[in-house]
Amino acid sequence: MVRVSGKRGNGEGSIYPYRNGFAAYVWVTTPDGNRKRKYVYGPTRKDVHEKWLKLHNEAKKGPVATSTPTLANYLAYWLKEVVEPNLRPLTAATYETTVRLYVVPLLGAKRLDRLTVQDMRGWLNRLAETCQCCAQGKDAKRPEERQRCCAKGECCRQTLSKRSVNDARTILRSALTNAMVEERISKNVAQLVKVQRARRKRPDPWSVEEACSFLENAQMWRDYLYAAYVLILVLGLRKGEVLGLTWSDVNLDTGELHIRHQLQRVRRRLLHTDTAKTEASEAVLPLPDICLAALRLRKKEQEVARERAADLWTESDLVFTTRNGTPVEPRNFTREFDRRCERAGVRRIRVHDTRHTCASLLAALDVHPRIAMQILRHSEIAVTMEVYTHVPSADTRRALRKLGKALGGSKQRDGKKKGKRKREERPDGDGLQEP
């Protein structure tokens, strides 16, 4: 039997016998600036010596972490210290929800430095197969009399779409990239996993004729959100951008609109942020005549609402407000949009899909392609011309011009001669319709 010598070799001053093998340590500087010992272990002196030399080299290059957190602990740190200070509130909230629901339950207990490609592949497969109603206890949280699927043993198979699974991987990949920058891990295993690209669902937006019918119906019934509908259809504004619009962003004299704000509900708080979605979105847009007329009409309607509310009015600079001057809830805007679709007799689409109708409407309004390029925020005129493929009919052009003239006041004067215009029944719920 060969006895293992405990004598240290040259340059191995910190290597010593430990239990059934050997151990070594190196004094390192941690990421927070403190000096601590970092230990390595192995069955033989040779193995430990190689690890010891590698650790020495790492210590010379920069800070070295002396303890490795679990993935759950690191993600909590990443969300608080990296994501929240640098990303928009809604994006940070989306990251937090994805981490809490889809990453931590399946991978959170793993040590950050021991994640493997096999772990990633297994996680993605399980995530795609897991019923989220069962995993999150959605049906179990309902009152017993309203339970209808998983809580009764009948799984509804509410699995994530391929795009949602890929989004979860993208967020985890971003977190591990940050861990590499901080020198906590040597490779990003989430980046090494190849996934099939999810096919995007092609939206089926309104035709110009449908958009025209929608706007005519909203104008006929004097919908207080009519000007908002005009802006999302003619200028392609997002829901948050149109609800966050202030009168200081609108110049009715020069016919210009500045995109500077968004109104969003994030984590049960209504936020009026000072930045648009992207830098390209923060633009100065020219206002076509139909938009100018709609905004002037909205300004008059808001002044009437302010007089009616009297002391109950909440003063703000927002263009679109409720009967008491408070901001319009984004969800209430969506409900009103869906209700207007039904009353106008047009297909029900998402509010965001109206952006796809914008180019066709601009062509129907005879807006010059260069101006349309600025409105749609395209970098090249070729892209704008490509979406100008739908040539509107002569009837559509006449209908839109007729709508613009009606906004100018001719229709209102005709209505006074014929009698009072009929009004819809409007709900009493605050934030839905003005009286």
> Quick one: what percent of the chain has pLDDT higher than 70?
80
CA angle 231, 237, 239 (to 5 degrees): 100
* pTM tops 0.85, yes or no: no
> Is the separation of the CB atoms in 407 and 219 below 8 Å?
yes
Q: What is the pLDDT of residues 110-123, one digit of tens each?
A: 999 899 999 999 99
Would you state the pLDDT for residue 428? 40
> Is the separation of the CB atoms in 358 and 375 below 8 Å?
yes
* The token pair that represents 35 in the structure block: 């000096």
Q: Give yes or no for residue 273 having a pLDDT over 90.
A: no
Q: Give yes or no for residue 369 having a pLDDT over 80.
A: no
Q: What is the pLDDT of residues 13-69, one digit of tens each?
A: 578 899 889 999 888 888 778 888 888 899 999 999 999 998 888 888 887 777 788
Most confident among 125-134, 282-291, 383-392 (mean pLDDT): 125-134
CA atoms within 13 A on the CB side of 76: 8
Instruction: Report how far residue 244's alpha carbon sits from residue 402's, in angstroms, rounded to the nearest whole number.
Output: 29
User: 36 forms bridges with which residues in the sheet?
Assistant: 28
> Is the separation of the CB atoms in 150 and 131 below 8 Å?
yes
The overall average pLDDT reported for the chain is: 82
Q: What is the pLDDT of residues 220-242, one digit of tens each?
A: 999 999 999 999 988 888 899 99
Q: Give yes or no for residue 391 having a pLDDT over 70.
A: no
Phi/psi region, residue 13 (left: phi>0; alpha: psi -120 to 50; beta: rest), is alpha
Would you state the pLDDT for residue 427? 39
* The token pair that represents 333 in the structure block: 């805007």
In Å, how far from its chain's centre is CA 348?
Answer: 22
